[in-house]
Amino acid sequence: MTLSVAVTPESLTPVLRQRFWAKVNRGDSQTCWPWIGKQRGPGSYGILWVNGHCIVAHRISWILAHGVAIPPHRLVCHHCDYPPCVNPSHLYIGTDADNGADKARKGRASRLAEERNPAAKLTVRDVRAIRALYGTGHISHARLGQLFEVSES
Concatenate the DSSP letters of all residues of 123-137 into one string: -HHHHHHHHHHHHTT
Q: What's the pLDDT tens digit per position in 22-50?
A: 999 999 989 999 999 988 888 889 999 88
Mean pLDDT of 13-27: 94
Burial (Cβ within 10 Å: 0-12, 13-18, ≥19) of residue 7: buried
From the list 61, 11, 16, the residue with the least C-alpha distance to 34 is 61
Residue 116 has pLDDT above 80, yes or no: no
Which positions ≥6 away from 142 have C-beta within 8 Å?
Answer: 152
Q: What percent of the chain has pLDDT over 70?
A: 92
Q: Following CA atoms 69, 72, 91, 39 in sequence, which dihedral angle do they give, to the nearest 10 degrees?
A: 80
Residue 4 has pLDDT above 70, yes or no: no
Mean pLDDT of 110-121: 70
Q: Following CA atoms 58, 39, 21, 5 in sequence, which dihedral angle do they give, to the nearest 10 degrees?
A: 40
